[in-house]
Amino acid sequence: MDRVAIKEEAKKKIKGNLWTIWKPLVLFELCVFVIFFIIGFLVGLLKLDKNVYNIVLGVLSFCASFIETGFMFAYAKYILSFIRGEKFDWNDVKEYTKKHMVRAFVISFVVGLIIIGCSILLVIPGIIAAIGLTFYEEVAVDNEDLGTMDVIKKAWAITNGHKMDIFVFTLSFIGWEILASLTFGILYIWLMPYIVVATAMVYEKLK
């Protein structure tokens, strides 16, 4: 895996396309904010008991996480479509999120359990599990007919023999991350698309 070549190609792809990459994220967060602001306002008007309020808040938080999981799978498909030169716009993102929300949540939940379970044993197995399942979202959206365990197996197989390469690739962005923090996050306007596209391109090379 030629890390340098992939990163250079990613820089070329994001040039002039920062808004294209950011657009679904910004629109999604705005939609969630508006919806939950309205719900929160209405709940506040009801002047609920503190315990009931906490329950409502917990339910809303779970719903937000549930929806966000579906969206992140849709966003993975959006980015893959972008680097492949395929059409997949905001309306497609919304439809995909609604259609695959449950599947996305189940897969993410199982992956999370695996990583946490390995981390409980030792730190190193947890890191290996996280690296080995790096591309589970991409595998899931590229193989919509696969069940949860098959997605996990395929995601793991893709990283066989490349886990150290992926680890080094991830570490190669640390300098940029530090620099971005020094700019109070402003650099993330460019850095986030760079990392997201470069990571998707690694998947494209390995799959």
Tens of pLDDT, residue by residue over 106-124, are: 999 999 999 999 998 788 8
Neighbours of 78 (CB within 10 A): 25
Q: Are 34 and 73 in contact (CB under 8 A)?
A: no
Q: Give residue 23's identity as a one-letter amino acid code.
A: K
* CB contact set of 44 (below 8 Å; sequence gap of 6+): none
Q: Are 65 and 101 in contact (CB under 8 A)?
A: no
Average pLDDT (146-171) is 95
Q: Could you state, in order of their start, the residue ranges of all structural domains in the chain? A: 3-206
Residue 155: is it exposed, middle or buried by C-beta count within 10 angstroms (0-12/13-18/19+)? buried
Average pLDDT (71-98) is 95
What are 31-80's pLDDT values in tens digits?
888 888 887 777 777 777 778 777 877 888 888 888 999 999 999 999 99
What span, in angstroms and rounded, lies between the C-alpha atoms of 177 and 171?
Answer: 10
- Give the range with max mean pLDDT: 23-37, 91-105, 114-128: 91-105
Question: What's the half-sphere exposure (Cβ side, CA atoms, 13 Å) at 187?
Answer: 13
